[in-house]
Amino acid sequence: MNHRPIDCAALLARLDRFDAIIDARSPAEFAQDRLPGAINCPTLNDAERAKVGTLHRCSSAFEARRLGAAYAANNIAVHLRGPLRDRPRTWMPLVYCWRGGERSAALAHVMMRIGWQVHQLDGGYRAFRRFVTAALAQLPGRLGFRVLCGATGSGKSRMLWHLERAGAQVLDLERIAAHRGSVLGALPNHAQPSQRHFETRLWWALQSMDPARPVFVESESRRIGERQLPDALLEALRAAPCLSIELELAERIRLLREEYRHFEAAPEHLGAQLECLKSLHGASRVHQWQSLAAQGRWDELVACLISDHYDPLYQRSMRANFQRTAEGRILRVASAEHRAFETVARELAASCR
């Protein structure tokens, strides 16, 4: 009785049929990227992997394998007594490591001997990564995007949220990237995913989309924080029809204060972030903004940032990257209230069915 290999194309077709996806790589490898829904049961931890690799390169392949086997036996025993202890006889996991080699094979062999219906990903994570990269070059061209444009504070992300609730297809790039996209867009207590994991999350979202229905997405630059959009997706967004959200200035200020309230709780942090704008606006103007933050003059500060930084930046970006904005439908929203966005989103979602 052997564990059964499965390639990436077959994996996609039946991913939801597995009871668990087990990543047998080290915790550091797992943190960089992994298959959607995978849990980490490392055959070797980071230190053990480094030690075995060094021994293999510098001394003896045989001794490296013997040491690796000892580490693997201990770690597999820990997993069987821990996270895998209550799995039933009918449990069917998928196991993978870096390239479908010794680490996943060791874990799969023990699982198979226990009696579980084990499958091993042929080619491991490396094959999956190639599959994702190839898919990201193809999937965007098969979808009909509708790009939500609008100046900073006009509520593009809020509109996406309400569109999704109204049943529309939505690709929320900022949620996937864990970043709001601007110099002040880092989310408190949320690190961005690695570039590889960002791309895996993008692929997972795109492959679930129905090509017969429009996909609403926010206008974005090439980078969202530290993460970069794949070329094919960026090209598809810049060629897509646009819809422009319009919201009065006072309501934009209100919305921005709601969405960035963590800065009002820590004005010193905002002041530090504003330092990044000195190269664009000069020290004097940035010091004025920092002073407004320190004094708690939030409406005044947000109005200045909108007029002096965000609106000019937005206009330049739209002219350069989203030239179909002028021909697009205008979505006028009455206020920053969620119910105002809900009304527009419901009407828009209904018109696209």
User: Considering 70, 101, 133, which residue would you say is the last residue of a domain?
Assistant: 133
151 shares its domain with 260: yes
As a whole number of angstroms, the distance between CA 42 and CA 188 comes to: 30
User: Is residue 41 situated within a structural domain?
Assistant: yes
The two three-digit tokens of residue 328, written as one number:
């697009």
157 shares its domain with 296: yes
Q: In one letter, which amino acid is 54? A: T
| 110: Cα separation from own chain's centroid | 34
Containing structural domain, residue 172? 143-351
For residue 87, give the CATH number of its domain.
Answer: 3.40.250.10
For residue 206, give the CATH number of its domain.
Answer: 3.40.50
190 shares its domain with 121: no
How many CA within 13 A on the CB side of residue 49? 15
How many other β-carbons are positioned within 10 Å of the β-carbon of residue 343?
14
User: Is residue 315 situated within a structural domain?
Assistant: yes
95 shares its domain with 45: yes
As a whole number of angstroms, the distance between CA 287 and CA 21 comes to: 51
The two three-digit tokens of residue 193, written as one number:
């995913």
282 shares its domain with 163: yes
Q: In one letter, which amino acid is 97? A: C
User: Is residue 344 situated within a structural domain?
Assistant: yes
63 shares its domain with 210: no
User: Considering 100, 133, 166, which residue would you say is the last residue of a domain?
Assistant: 133
Helix residue ranges per DSSP H, 168-325: 173-177, 195-207, 231-239, 249-259, 261-265, 267-274, 278-294, 298-305, 311-321
User: Is residue 240 situated within a structural domain?
Assistant: yes
User: Considering 133, 152, 185, which residue would you say is the last residue of a domain?
Assistant: 133
92 shares its domain with 24: yes
User: Is residue 154 situated within a structural domain?
Assistant: yes
99 shares its domain with 22: yes
The two three-digit tokens of residue 74, written as one number:
């201990």
Is residue 192 within 8 A of residue 330, CB to CB? The reply is no
List the pLDDT tens digit at each of the 353 positions of the chain: 446 677 777 777 778 889 999 999 999 999 999 999 999 999 999 999 999 999 999 999 999 999 999 999 999 999 999 999 999 999 999 999 998 688 999 999 999 999 999 999 989 999 999 999 999 999 999 999 999 999 999 999 999 999 999 999 999 999 999 999 888 888 888 899 999 999 999 999 999 999 999 999 999 999 999 999 999 999 999 999 999 999 999 999 999 999 999 999 999 999 999 999 999 999 999 999 999 999 999 999 999 999 999 999 999 999 899 878 888 899 999 999 999 999 999 999 998 87
176 shares its domain with 289: yes
User: Is residue 138 situated within a structural domain?
Assistant: no
DSSP single-letter state for residue 194: P
**Number of structural domains the chain divides into:** 2
Is residue 349 within 8 A of residue 168, CB to CB? The reply is yes
Tell me the backbone φ, ψ of residue 42, rounded to 5 degrees.
-65, 135
User: Is residue 151 situated within a structural domain?
Assistant: yes
Full-model pTM: 0.93
118 shares its domain with 154: no
The two three-digit tokens of residue 195, written as one number:
């570039």
191 shares its domain with 319: yes
The two three-digit tokens of residue 119, written as one number:
């499958």
80 shares its domain with 213: no
